[in-house]
Amino acid sequence: MTEQKQLFDAAAIAAAITRMADAIVAEFHPESDNGGFALIGIYKQGVPLAERLIEAIAERSGGCRPELAKLDISMYRDDVGLRSGLPLIRETVIPFNMENKRVILVDDVLSSGRSIRAALDAVTDYGRPALIRLAVLVDRGMPEYPIRADYVGLRVEAPADRKIRVDFKENDGIDAIREVSWHRDAMPQNTD
């Protein structure tokens, strides 16, 4: 069985998302003429997080909502052949032209930085964005690649052999952030 310890509850998550939305609005000015930008949720947990951020941004900017894209990075990962089983590739949906777009990559946890590296490759294969920012709900502060998040909801320090698991109501029926013992089969897709 997986050992686990709850770190944050639904209220803490909601507050964190609010803080992230405030910071994004402050930099991107959705109401201005130049307000077009998009959030790209990285499967699996980056997608509901991006959806929630879009709602929070819309509330703070008179209903102006950035566009939503969903990104599967399976084809861009650098650990092909190292995993014991392959989960199904999810549908990448990019309903806009990436060329010169301002985009924010959204993921639940920034750990090693490998997923974000893969996501950067994937995004740039769809076009040449004007700028790319990174928003994560949880930053573990232990990147293996030179990648830092621009918008961080919560900072967590946990031992390297523990993993931070984020559950969202949309996918898991509950909002919670937990520290769990690392277990390959328990690992949700596309987190590092």
**Binding residues for another protein (CB under 8 A):** 72, 74-78, 80-92, 121-122, 125-127, 185
In the sheet with 162-167, reading across from the earlier edge strand, the strands are 4-8, 176-181, 162-167
* Shortest distance in whole angstroms from residue 65 CB to another protein: 25
Residue 11 identity (one-letter amino acid): A
User: Which is closer to another protein, CB of 77 or CB of 140?
Assistant: 77
* Shortest distance in whole angstroms from residue 151 CB to another protein: 27
Q: Long-range contacts of range 151-154, CB-CB < 8 Å, 24 or more positions apart? A: 151/20, 151/23, 151/24, 151/104, 152/20, 152/110, 153/13, 153/16, 153/17, 153/19, 153/20, 154/8, 154/12, 154/16
User: Which is closer to another protein, CB of 90 or CB of 178?
Assistant: 90
* Shortest distance in whole angstroms from residue 144 CB to another protein: 19
* Shortest distance in whole angstroms from residue 181 CB to another protein: 18
User: Which is closer to another protein, CB of 34 or CB of 84?
Assistant: 84
User: Which is closer to another protein, CB of 76 or CB of 96?
Assistant: 76
H/E element holding 137? strand 131-139
User: Which is closer to another protein, CB of 120 or CB of 142?
Assistant: 120
* Shortest distance in whole angstroms from residue 191 CB to another protein: 15
Residue 7 identity (one-letter amino acid): L
Interatomic CA distance for residues 151 and 170, integer angstroms: 22
